Structures are given as structure tokens and as C-alpha cells.
A and B are shown apart, each in its own frame.
Chain A
Amino acid sequence: MIASNGGSGKKRGGSYGSPPRRPDWMGMLRRNALLLGFTVFIMVMPAWAVPLSKPLSIPIILTMRLVGVYAIVAVGLNLLMGYAGQVSLGQGAFFGIGAYTSALLTTKVGFPVWLGIPCAILVAMLFGVLLAPVLRLKGHYLAMATLAMGIVVFVFLREMTWLTGGNDGVRNIPHLSVPFLEITSTRGEFYYVWIVAIIVLALCSRLVDSRVGRAMRALHQSEVAAEAMGVPVSAVKKRVFILSAALGGLAGGLFAHLQRFIDPNQFSILLSISLVTMVVIGGMESVWGSVFGAGLITFLPKLVEALPRWLGEVPDWLERYSNYEGMILGVIIMLTMVFMPSGITKGMVDLVRWRRSSFVNPFRRKAVD
């Protein structure tokens, strides 16, 4: 097989092209600029965020730990939903399963935390394998079936009191740890979570641009064509589903040890819906969009809580201000879907590039429907 490509020059006897002869440092730097930039941003974050937390009345670092957790599960969901096109409204189930696995193993069996979290991943993957048959469904049906899956897991977490403690939850969950070192400070937890998250993000952003990622995107765009081009569609779907379950389990495990108290209501269907919202608002088919989405959805309630304090004395109608959180969230979701259906990150990029021409007012009537 001789490449007609004149540029690569060198030809080898084997059927594989030759790997780059020496590492191309500048190229690698350019390709990973976003990842590196983000890593630096996270690493220096405590330096400016800690002094800012008080005047803003938002515990930035404390919240950022959760953003990291949600970013992990949201990225997993984005692989499934954004890239492979399989809606899941039950991702919170895997998150909950992961959280309970690690929490119970560490509190009741006495596992160390750094072993509990891998077990959380494994158990979540196992449930992923068990639940994978729902992937036979499409569109609305898949959405509802996964929603139902989330409800079933939630009800069982609540009712299997002999195992989960029911509505009383699991208390006194140990702190995160690495072998021989327990991590108790907020800043330590922040770095712990984000190192894991950045590794996950790096792996996922590589994955989507590889053979497997292409297969995922192809089956999203046309299952028939992907199958006809030799992509084993159902196998790829199943693996992505299990991968997203694994990431859900990982995030859930981290979550349990950050919160140190879990109860079933933290893993209700509302969690699944906020996870979907993170993915959709941040942008489908965008690994970094999910991080942004996770940040937005996690900080929104804190912001809503803090706003009255910025205003000084609280006006009367703001008394029940935090109740508006859901309304604001709902409006954001609806506006995003109507005006920027590909997510806020992509929508903003389009705005910045001033692609006004592609903007069609969705309210305007067109001649043909």
C-alpha cells in the first residue's frame, strides 16, 4: 500500500505508516493548549479564589470540588449523549450506585477510600452491563426508559434499608485518601478531585478524536450507514454506555467522600436531569463544554443564594429568593434550546465570530413547514 500523499515522504515496508521520528513538542503543545491552559487555571485557582470567596459570599473552592465531580460524570454523559447520540435521563443512577458502593464499603466493610472508589467504578460498570439492553430503544423511548431506570434505582436505594439505611442515609463516610494519607483540607480535596477530573478530561478528549470516537459520532449521525461501513453499532453503543456508567461511578465515589453524608434524595431523578442540563447547556459533542455546564449549574444556586447578600439588606420579596433557582434554571434551559440548541459554549463562539447570518429567529414563520 503506497500512499499517494507526497508530503509524508518516507515509506516503510509494513502496512502501517511510520510514527513521527522525533517528538514534535510545539505540535503537541498546540494540540493540547486548551488542556494545559485549563490545568494551569485550576492549579493557581486557590491563590485568587480564596481571598475572593468572602467578599462574594460564595465558597468558591468548596463549590469547585463539586464542579470537578460533576464535570467527570457530565463528560461521561456527553460521550454517551452528545457524541454517540444516546439520551440518558438516568445517569444519576450510576452516580448514586458509585456513591453508595464506596460509602458502604468504607464505612461497613472497612475498605480504605482509595480502594473504595475503584470498587465504585466496577459496580457502576456492572450495572451498566445489566442495564445496557435499554440501548435498543431510540429517541423519546430511550429517554423515558432511562428516566425509569433512574427512578427504579432511586426507589431501591431508599427502600433497601438493611443495606443503604434508607432515608437516614450513610453517615460518617471517611475523607478522600491516597495510600497512607488522608486528605482533609478543602484545598487538598479540591486538588484531589481536579487531578482526577483533568486526567478524565484529557483521556476523553483524546478518545473522541480517535477510531472509537469516530465510530461513536458516525453512529450518532446515521446508524444504518455506520453499520454498513463495518462499525458494530450496538457493541459500540454498549461500550460507551458502560464507560459513561464507569465515569458516573467514579464521580459518585468521589462525591460520597467529599460530602461524607449521603442519602437517597441526593440521587433522585432531579440529579439526572441536572446532569443532562449540564451537558446540553455546555454543548453537546464538546468535552470542555460539559465542564462549563457543570460549573454553571453548580454555581447557579450559590450565586442565587449570594445575590441578596451583595445587595445589603434583603428586600421583602427576596425573602424566598432561593426558590427562584429552579425557575431561573428552567428559563436558561428553554432559552438555550430555542436560541442556542448546540449549547452555550458553541453559541457564544458563534456570537463572537459574528455568524449572525446563521441565526434564524425561531419564532418567525417560514413559508413551508
Chain B
Amino acid sequence: MPAEEAMSPLHEGVALQTSGLYKAFGGLTAVKNISFAVYEGEIRAIIGPNGAGKTTLYDLLTGIYKPDAGRIFFAGKDITGLPSHRITAMGMARTFQTVRLFPHMSVMENVMVAMHHRTHCGFLSCALALPPSRREEAWMREEAHRFLHIVGLEMQGESLAGNLPFGQQRLLELARALATQPKVLLLDEPAAGLNAYETRELGDIIYRLRDMGITVILVEHDMGLVMRISEKVMVLDYGEIISEGTPEEVRSDPRVIEAYLGSVVD
């Protein structure tokens, strides 16, 4: 495939890179020839009108869908076609546009599930409650508590996830994604449904994550947040990258304005 030669995988400091990704559903091409690279420690925003293919791109990156063509490189390896849980174990985590918590489990348990790949006790050890599994359990609780603390939910550990108010559910999703110990974190519209105060808090949390060494990619419609925190912005329309650059560059790009507001000639 020519795309592979065009983009030699993984320069120094590249956290995540794709080359020529394609994905079609029936007759509809949701993602067309997307190639980009995100550097370690970057905060990258992906914006675009509804239906531009942003969530599909996430689904491709995290292995929920297999791309029809193109490759994805992550953590020094080609991860194209790997199952989702393997990709997560390698250090890529995500949140969902529509919150997908485990509503009938406690907040603490939601976070503990995300530590599955970092723990090892199997059926037998768990059923017999052997010392290794008890140690692991205690360790998981401490860890979970730490991540809940980061998003400020440490007091709600025992409540059911489904009973949390919406804003806190989004924060819990974030804590859960962090518990997988990601190198790259994909956030899908994290500010949707949050009020202005919560959105500001979220911005601070994202900064803190970057300081912890996590590369953050976010899909977001809240332009205030995007312009404030992201270092580079990528604009998708009809499944293609139509513009890429710093927030200022993107803001003044005529193609972006056209995509959002419609053609002037029209």
C-alpha cells in the first residue's frame, strides 16, 4: 500500500499516528484517507460538524471497528485490527460521547473494572480469595481511590454510578479511563452537558493530565474550551481532514468557516 511508504511509522516522540484510514458503512464513507500524527504530551483537538466522522475515527483508533484500509501506529507498534481490550492494555483509553458507565455498579467498582488488564488473579484465585487476590483487591481499591480523587469524586465511591448527576458521570468516565493508565487519552465531547463552571474545571483537569505525561486528544464542540486548551486543532468534514494547525490558524481558515457556516456562494 503506497500510504505505508509515504508515512514511515513513528518518528521520535510520536505518540499516535495513522496513515490513510478509510471506513465505510454500506455506501456511506464515514472516514476518508485520514493521516495524522499526535506527539507525546500534546493536547490535540478534533472538531467538525455533526456527522463529520469524529466518533468513527475514535472507534477505529480504539479497535471497535476495523478500518477498511490504512494503518494505525501506537506505542511503537502497528495496532491495526487488534481487539479493543489489547489496545487499551497498550495504553490508549477513551471516554464515550454518550456516557457508557456500568450504571448498576458502584463508582468505585466502575474504576476498578478499568484496572482489569493491570491485575492478574483468575477465576480460581478470586473464588478461593487466595492471598494474592486479596492483596490485589486492596491495591485496586487504593488505586481507584486515587483516580477518583483526581476528578473529585472520592466521596461518592460507594454510590451507584447510575445515580450520579450527569456532570459527575462524565467525570467518572474520565476517572475510569485514567485507571487503565493510558499514554494517550481520547475524550469524546467531554464538555457536552456540562455547565460553564464544570467545563472550566474540566479544562483544568485536562491540563493536569497533560502534566502527568498523558497525551490528550479531544473531540469537542465547545469552541471556548478547544481554543483555550488545545495546542493543535484538526478539523474534519465529511470524513476528511480539511484543516490542521494551531487554534488561530484553524479559526481563520476559509475552508473551516465554509464547513461550519456553509459556502458563501451558495
Contacts and interface: CB of A to CB of B under 8 A. Distances in A.
* A–B contact (CB under 8 angstroms): yes
Interface of A: 1-5, 8, 15-19, 203-204, 206-207, 210-215, 217-218, 221-222, 224-233, 239, 243
Contacts of A213: 126
21 contacts: A3-B146, A4-B145, A17-B138, A17-B139, A204-B127, A206-B129, A207-B127, A211-B136, A212-B123, A213-B126, A214-B112, A217-B102, A218-B102, A221-B102, A221-B104, A222-B101, A224-B64, A224-B100, A227-B84, A227-B88, A243-B123
A139 B84 CA distance: 22
Given A16-B139, A203-B128, A206-B128, A230 B145 contact: no
A212 B122 contact: yes
B135 A228 contact: no
B133 A225 contact: no
Contact of A231 (B64, B85, B93, B138): B85
B173 to A, nearest CB: 9
A15 B104 contact: no
A232 B62 contact: no
A1 B115 CA distance: 14
Contacts of B143: 1, 3
A31 to B, nearest CB: 10
B138 A16 contact: yes
A231 B142 contact: no
Nearest to A5: B145
A229 B113 contact: yes
B85 A233 contact: yes
A217 B131 CA distance: 23
B83 interface: yes
B180 interface: yes
Q: Is the interface of A mostly helix, strand, loop or mixed?
A: helix
B30 to A, nearest CB: 17
B56 to A, nearest CB: 14
B129 to A, nearest CB: 5
Nearest to A200: B127
Contact of B113 (A4, A19, A207, A226): A226
A230 B117 contact: yes
Interface in B137-163: 137-143, 145-146, 149, 154
Given A4-B146, A217-B102, A211 B64 contact: no
Interface string B65-104: 0000000000000000001110011000110100011111
**Interface size range of chain B in the complex:** 35 or more
A258 to B, nearest CB: 25
Nearest to B58: A228
A217 B116 CA distance: 13
Contact of B133 (A3, A211, A229): A211
A131 to B, nearest CB: 19
A19 B117 contact: no
B240 interface: no
Given A4-B146, A229-B88, A222 B102 contact: yes
A215 B118 CA distance: 13
Contacts, number: 133
A224 B83 CA distance: 11
Contacts of A18: 138
A232 B127 contact: no
B142 A3 contact: yes
Interface of B: 62, 64, 83-85, 88-89, 93-94, 96, 100-105, 109, 112-114, 116-119, 121-123, 126-129, 131, 133-143, 145-146, 149, 154, 176-177, 179-180
B219 to A, nearest CB: 15
A226 to B, nearest CB: 7
B126 A211 contact: yes
B182 to A, nearest CB: 10
A353 to B, nearest CB: 16
A304 B91 CA distance: 60
Given A4-B146, A230-B88, A230-B117, A239 B135 contact: no
Contact of B139 (A15, A212, A239): A15
Nearest to A227: B84
Nearest to B135: A16
A5 B142 contact: yes
A214 B85 contact: no
Top 3 nearest A-B pairs by Cβ distance? A210-B126, A230-B117, A230-B88
A243 B62 CA distance: 30
* Residue of B83, B137, B139 with most chain A CB atoms under a 10 A cut-off: B139
Contact of A215 (B83, B113, B134): B113
A231 B113 contact: yes
B61 to A, nearest CB: 11
B105 A218 contact: yes
A29 B36 CA distance: 58
Given A211-B121, A229-B176, A8 B105 contact: no
A210 B115 CA distance: 12
Contacts of B141: 17
Contacts of A207: 123, 126-127
Contacts of A228: 62, 64, 84-85, 88, 93-94, 96, 100
A230 B126 contact: no
A83 to B, nearest CB: 11
Contacts of B109: 214, 217
Nearest to B106: A214
A2 B146 CA distance: 8
A239 B134 CA distance: 21
